[in-house]
Amino acid sequence: MRTSWRIGSLFGIEIRIDSSWIIIFTFVTWALSSVYFPNRFPGWPQWQYWIIGVVTSLLFFASVLGHELTHSLVAMRQGEEVRSITLFILGGVAELKGEPESPFKEFSMAFVGPLSSMIIALFFWALSLIFRDLNQPLWALTRYLGLINLIIGIFNLIPGFPMDGGRVLRAIIWKVTGNLRRSTRIASVAGQTIAFLFIMFGIFLIFSRAIFNGLWMVFIGWFIHSAAARGYKQVVMKDMLKDIRARDLMNREFETVSRDLPLQELIDEHILKRRQRAFLVFDRNQLDGIICLDDVKAVPRGKWTTTRVGEIMTPKEKLETVFPEDDGTSVLAKLTGKNVNQVPVVRGEKVEGILCRSDVLELLQLRAELGV
């Protein structure tokens, strides 16, 4: 389970830190204060390494926030809704409400990220020139921040999804082909290939006895790989489900059962005869709950005669409902978000049908097999 804390808000965007950020913040501060600065600038008092280390580390994360904020501000300018920015172990993520609507929007949103890091790098580099002969600790601090922001900028220019460069690549291919799914696949394959190279290079470093840098490379590669694959899957799913409505997926011909019905009878008389996977449970013409094939399968066969529907059904209070007009993406989000297997499709007081998670997944599988 992921935990994150809200630390404030900027331009109406919520700024959060993920629990994993604490680890990386502690690590970066430690590495700067007891390895990096002492090696390059020997002779400072011990407390000074720590103060400069903490300040550098804070400014480093402020730079990452600046990078994400630039993405978000451009997105908002384009009319997108940005919910929050979360800082976590490998930088930051800005959470947008949906996928970008056009290649141009995607391009400009992605491109400003590396650009902002380069500008921040330039700013610290200019400051470092000023401090060079005036104050060694401040020179060390600004020089490091200039360098690290340059690295962040260059890293994000790598043309593989989910890096900014990969999004730029996706926008260009999208513009040329007019196909968001195909361009995401190409950018994602590029991302996974680059991730693979990172991992190979990491393994090479480990064998060359640069174990720490090697492990770090493998970790970054693994992270890029999973993010690239996940990003592609999300786009494909959203694309497949966006023009499907709950009413197209639901079963209208549903039969209702009573809560006192034993499972064995439900199986023999209803599930097998009707070949229906889920039944609404009604009590005196009122919706009481829902029972699905998956609920039945969870009960051992030997208990089918003694267990009654009411004991294992999803009761009304826990029931999620959807409207007939809800689109496939929001239906699936509801099913997975609440971790339920079925939802009644309801308009007002009237139940119009029921919809199982398997209906959505079957449709996804069918469309994936047909490539449509």
Q: Which residues would be at the binding site for Zn ion (CB under 5 A)?
A: 113, 164
Residue closest to Zn ion when measured from CB atoms: 113
Of the two residues 110 and 249, which places its CB atom closer to Zn ion in the complex? 110
Q: Please, which residue, 74 or 240, has the CB nearer to Zn ion?
A: 74
Let me know: does 254 contact 282? Beta carbons within 8 Å: no
Q: Which of 237, 238, 235 minimizes the C-alpha distance to 227?
A: 235
Rounded to a whole number of angstroms, the minimum distance from the CB of residue 233 to Zn ion is 21
- The answer to whether 53 and 95 are in contact (CB under 8 A) is no
Cβ-based nearer residue to Zn ion, 18 or 164: 164
Query: How many other CB atoms are there within 10 angstroms of residue 211's CB atom?
Result: 12
Closest to 307 (Cα-Cα) out of 294, 290, 289, 295: 295
Neighbouring residues of 186: CB distance < 8 A, sequence distance ≥ 6: 169, 170, 173
Separation between Cα atoms, residue 223 and residue 352, nearest integer Å? 44
**How far apart are CB 122 and Zn ion at their closest, in Å?**
17
- Helix locations, 91-245, DSSP H: 103-131, 136-157, 164-177, 180-207, 211-241
Nearest distance from C-beta of residue 71 to Zn ion, angstroms: 5
CB of 17 to Zn ion, least distance (A): 17
What is the number of residues in the chain? 372
Least distance to Zn ion from the beta carbon of 113, Å?
Answer: 3
CB of residue 161 to Zn ion, shortest distance in Å: 12
* Cα gap 22→325, rounded to integer Å: 43
Nearer to Zn ion among residue 103 and residue 113 (C-beta): 113
Is the Cβ of residue 162 or residue 344 nearer to Zn ion in the bound state?
Answer: 162
The tokens describing 170, both together, are 């996706």
**Secondary structure class of 322 (helix, strand, coil):** strand
Nearer to Zn ion, 110 or 250 (CB): 110
Element (H, E) at 26: helix 19-31
Distance CA 330, CA 360 (A): 11
Task: Please identify, using beta-carbon distances, which residue of 114 and 353 lies nearer to Zn ion.
Answer: 114
Tokens of 60: 């480093």
Taking the complex as a whole, how short is the minimal distance between the CB of residue 58 and Zn ion, in angstroms? 20
Number of neighbouring beta carbons within 10 Å of residue 140: 21
164 vs 295, which CB is nearer to Zn ion?
164
Taking the complex as a whole, how short is the minimal distance between the CB of residue 21 and Zn ion, in angstroms?
Answer: 16
